[in-house]
């Protein structure tokens, strides 16, 4: 089975609760060379904020996906290519494993299942908002992470495993161990990607590198460097 992310190297995550760098526009964001834009954040999310970003990005031809942090902010928009729904495999609060998802299926008019996909998150930075939000147990060895990855693929049929170090650069050996545990599932990595070199390094281990805070902190030129870094890493494989 083929998926859109089979051919992705880079995803740019736009947080609707954060501003762009002064003078930059969503046209600039869409011109960074990223393969897809994922719209979502951990806190401060509303439907209105989500809709504003979708509308602003929809005219530039870059695939758009919503990653809703809770069922209340799911929006219906034909401009979206789909929905990427997180399920946090090492969450201490079961709400983020299946509880939120039970509520997602109850939203008005239901989910568009043909465009809905899940991401098996493994959260590894205990100081991150997402770790606090989900009560994630981040004290995981490389073997633990590999085991979670295998469970996600083999027992739960997940198409994406997402190693999330949000806010800090992760351990490449841990990411590689997860990669080695997977056969067909696509490995996403997010956390601490700030320049060409960090994107290149993690691009040697992950199928897709996700960049988020950099857009809001440093701007589109910095993001463009990370696109080049991960694409160069994959071209060198």
**Of 169, 161, 153, 165, residue with least CA distance to 206:** 161
CATH label of the domain that carries residue 125:
3.20.20.390
163 is in an annotated binding site: yes
165 is in an annotated binding site: yes
Q: Helices 196-203 and 172-181 sit at what angle, rounded to 10 degrees?
A: 30
42 is in an annotated binding site: yes
200 is in an annotated binding site: no
167 is in an annotated binding site: yes
162 is in an annotated binding site: yes
User: pTM score, two decimals?
Assistant: 0.93
**Cβ neighbours of residue 234 under 8 Å, at least 6 residues apart?**
9, 203
> C-alpha distances in angstroms, 127 versus 45, 96, 216?
20, 18, 20
pLDDT band at 108 (very low <50, low <70, confident <90, very high): low
Q: Is the pLDDT of residue 93 over 80?
A: yes
pLDDT digits (tens, 9 = 90+) for 189-203: 999 999 999 999 999
Q: What is the mean pLDDT of residues 1-6?
A: 87
Q: Is the pLDDT of residue 102 over 90?
A: no
166 is in an annotated binding site: yes
The residue with tokens 């857009």 is 215
Predicted pLDDT at 30: 97
Count of domains forming the chain: 1
The residue with tokens 């509308």 is 55
154 is in an annotated binding site: no
192 is in an annotated binding site: yes
164 is in an annotated binding site: yes
93 is in an annotated binding site: no
**Which residue range forms the structural domain that includes residue 62?**
4-235
Predicted pLDDT at 41: 77
pLDDT digits (tens, 9 = 90+) for 60-71: 999 999 988 777
15 is in an annotated binding site: yes
117 - beta bridge partners?
84
Q: Which run of H or of E encompasses 87?
A: strand 82-88
């Amino acid at each position: 089975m083929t998926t859109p992310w089979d051919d992705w190297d880079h995803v740019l995550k736009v947080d609707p609760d954060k501003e762009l760098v002064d003078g930059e526009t969503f046209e600039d964001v869409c011109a960074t060379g990223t393969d897809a834009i994922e719209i979502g954040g951990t806190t401060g999310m509303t439907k209105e904020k989500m809709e504003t970003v979708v509308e602003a990005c929809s005219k530039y031809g870059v695939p758009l996906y919503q990653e809703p942090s809770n069922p209340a902010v799911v929006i219906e928009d034909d401009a979206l290519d789909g929905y990427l729904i997180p399920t946090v495999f090492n969450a201490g609060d079961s709400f983020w494993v299946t509880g939120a998802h039970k509520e997602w299926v109850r939203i008005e008019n239901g989910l568009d299942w043909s465009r809905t996909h899940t991401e098996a998150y493994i959260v590894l930075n205990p100081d991150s908002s997402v770790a606090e939000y989900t009560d994630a147990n981040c004290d995981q060895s490389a073997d633990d992470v590999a085991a979670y990855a295998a469970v996600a693929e083999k027992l739960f049929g997940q198409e994406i495993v997402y190693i999330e170090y949000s806010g800090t650069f992760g351990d490449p050996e841990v990411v590689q161990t997860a990669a080695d545990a997977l056969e067909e599932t696509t490995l996403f990595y997010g956390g601490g990607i700030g320049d060409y070199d960090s994107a290149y390094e993690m691009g040697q281990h992950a199928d897709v590198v996700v960049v988020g805070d950099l857009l809001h902190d440093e701007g589109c030129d910095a993001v463009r460097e990370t696109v080049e870094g991960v694409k160069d890493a994959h071209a060198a494989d």
